[in-house]
Amino acid sequence: MSLEIAVTDDFDTCLRLRFEVFVDEQGVPIEEERDALDDSALHLLATDNGTPLGTARIVFIGDTAKIGRVCVVKSARGTGLGAKLIEACVDAARARDGITRAKLGAQIHALGFYEKLGFEAYGDIYLDAGIEHRDMVRRLS
């Protein structure tokens, strides 16, 4: 495995991965998956020997890095790639001046995954694209 996770301008590949996971697998309506934040977001792409396996985006708002659209293709799940992708997002957030926390909206089934990575859940459960989520935060100081 020759894994690389890097900031990318290849948004088309990121979008293909997101559609595969969110639209095709999870049934998220296509019009809800893409939004205006994509244009200002920092996109990360995970590849293995050039094959795209996962992606995430970060939107910077004030002192917060909002991590979102995190996905890993089915064939790469259970390999630790998801955790590495989140840590790459946290590292990118730390590298940005003035950013003191990372935030994300986690699908309920993934709460434990994010807790192991240092995120803490807060607030009520809410629906996003018909899927139950809960907000989580991780301090970066």
Question: Does domain 3-139 fall into CATH 3.30.9.90?
Answer: no
Lowest pLDDT segment from 24-38, 40-54, 76-90, 109-123: 24-38
pLDDT confidence tier of residue 130, bands split at 50, 70 and 90: confident
Question: Quick one: pLDDT at residue 1?
Answer: 65
What ranges do the domains of the chain cover? 3-139
Predicted structure pTM score: 0.94
Could you please report the per-residue DSSP string of the chain? --EEEEEES-HHHHHHHHIIIIIIIT---HHHHS-GGGGTSEEEEEEETTEEEEEEEEEEETTEEEEEEEEE-GGGTTTTHHHHHHHHHHHHHHTSTT--EEEEEEEGGGHHHHHHTT-EEEEEEEEETTEEEEEEEEE--
Question: Quick one: pLDDT at residue 129?
Answer: 86
Q: What is the pLDDT of residues 45-64, one digit of tens each?
A: 999 999 999 999 999 999 99
